[in-house]
Amino acid sequence: MATYKLTYFNLRGLAEITRIMFNIAKVPFEDIRLEYPPKEFAELKAAGKFAANLNRVPILDYNGVQIGQSKAIERFVAKKLGFMGTNDIEEAQVDMMCEHVRDIRIKYNEIRFNKSGEELEAAKKNFIVNDLGVWLEKLENVVPNSIYSVGDKLSLADINIYLLILDFFTPSEEVEKAKENCPKLKAIANNVAEVAKDWLASRPVTMF
């Protein structure tokens, strides 16, 4: 039987989509969580433990083979567990949706990680009030009227949409307003939340 060991910090961050896939598929994996803020990380890094991700995490150990880069890990695990569509076209569509979600998250992260203090708060609010709804409505336009964004089963694309709609932004009236014209995205996200509810209720509570 295949063995999966996923090493990351004790955060949702770049590992959570993969953890959600293992939990929905009920496939056992070792969820190795390094202390955050990092303590033992420097020592393990110096010992070459994370070379496959250029001395960073996450790292997936699959049957003793080390795989780095969170998106490569997500796609690999999605393929193994059946979350990457049922044919080449669906696989490309899943990939496309994931990249759409990534683009929107990057836009917000560019603000989050490049500003501070009052300037940060003002820029975050400006994005949420003026830009987020516009991007979400574009995404809403490319998903079908279904609880699945691609084909007729849950995929990596749906889990990305779940993260964007229900996890990534701190809840607020403005965030709710940005989502108000996106019933299809909400239905997809709510379906993932329902299917993954045991994991979401029992996972460690972390700051991000």
Is 148 a binding residue for ligand GSH by CB under 6 A? The answer is no
Among 13, 32, 79, 174, binds ligand GSH (CB under 6 A): 13
Token code pair at residue 73: 């890990």
Cβ of residue 57: shortest distance to ligand GSH, in angstroms? Answer: 4
Residue nearest to ligand GSH (CB): 56
Which residue, 23 or 53, has its beta carbon nearer to ligand GSH?
Answer: 53
H/E segment holding residue 31: strand 30-34
CA–CA gap between residue 91 and residue 76 (Å, rounded): 12
Cβ of residue 66: shortest distance to ligand GSH, in angstroms? Answer: 12
Cβ burial 112-124 (10 Å sphere, 16+ → b, else e)? eeeeeeeeeeebb
H/E segment holding residue 32: strand 30-34
Which residue, 13 or 32, has its beta carbon nearer to ligand GSH?
Answer: 13
Cβ of residue 71: shortest distance to ligand GSH, in angstroms? Answer: 6
The contact pattern for ligand GSH, residues 39-78, with x = CB under 6 A and - = no contact, is: --------------x--xxx----------xxx-------
**Count of positions on this chain that bind ligand GSH (CB under 6 A):** 9
Count H helices, E strands: the chain? 10, 4
In angstroms, the Cα distances linking 144 to 4, 16, 21, 132, 183 are 33, 25, 22, 20, 11
Which residue, 36 or 199, has its beta carbon nearer to ligand GSH?
Answer: 36
Contacts with ligand GSH, residue ranges (CB under 6 A): 13-14, 53, 56-58, 69-71
